Amino acid sequence: MTEQESMPNGPGSGHPEPAVRRPVLLLVLTLLLFAEAVAALGVGVWSLVQLVSSPPASYATAIALLVLIFAAGVWLLAIAVSTYRMRPWIRGAGITWQALQIVVAVACFQGVLGEPDDGWPLLIVAVVCIALLLSPSVVAVTRREV
């Protein structure tokens, strides 16, 4: 019998591991990340409809942009699921995404990619997510124990 099997709550004992309680801030962060993922995938679907309904100036550019949008949506979905599962790597991935989102928001304010009204929701959600990612309760449950 191995050491793990002889433990009262080990993998071979038939007893489930005690559930770790998720902090409220982690759940809020998870919901925000899921919302961002749904929004990104929604933009991808909208872009696909636009591609089909009217011809773009360059099909290669339009398809490349579609691939990037859907990849971002799937990546955000993976971050959101992993946040709920309290994986340690989500803080770096989440902060990276939020930093990119802040760049897009600033571009909206400057009129490069959109209207200033489009930038405010992006900026507010990004700042809130960064604050949640760095909150002590989220850091505590996503810390890698060595």
Per-residue pLDDT tens over the stretch 20-72: 788 999 999 999 999 999 999 999 999 999 999 999 899 999 999 999 999 99
Task: Give CA angle at 84 (79, 86), nearest 5°.
Answer: 90
Q: How far apart are CA 91 and CA 83, in angstroms?
A: 8
Question: What's the pTM?
Answer: 0.81
Q: How many other C-beta atoms are found inside a 10 Å radius of the C-beta of residue 49?
A: 10
| Residue 7: predicted pLDDT | 47
User: Would you say residue 86 has pLDDT above 80?
Assistant: yes
Quick check: is 9 in a domain?
Answer: no
Which of 48, 42, 36, 45 shows the shortest CA–CA distance to 77?
Answer: 36
Provide the domain limits for residue 100.
Answer: 23-140
Q: Kindly state whether residue 99 falls inside one of the protein's structural domains.
A: yes
The two structure tokens encoding residue 137: 């309760």
82 within a domain of the structure (yes/no): yes
Phi-psi category of residue 55: left, alpha or beta, with phi > 0 → left and psi -120 to 50 → alpha: beta
User: Using 50, 70 and 90 to split pLDDT, how confident is the model at 114?
Assistant: confident
* CA–CA distance, 69 with 46 (Å, rounded to integer): 11
| 145 found inside a domain | no
Assess if residue 89 is contained within a domain. yes
Q: Please check whether residue 58 lies inside any domain of the structure.
A: yes
Separation between Cα atoms, residue 13 and residue 7, nearest integer Å: 7
What's the domain count of the chain? 1
Q: Is the dihedral of CA 46, 51, 56, 58 positive or negative?
A: positive
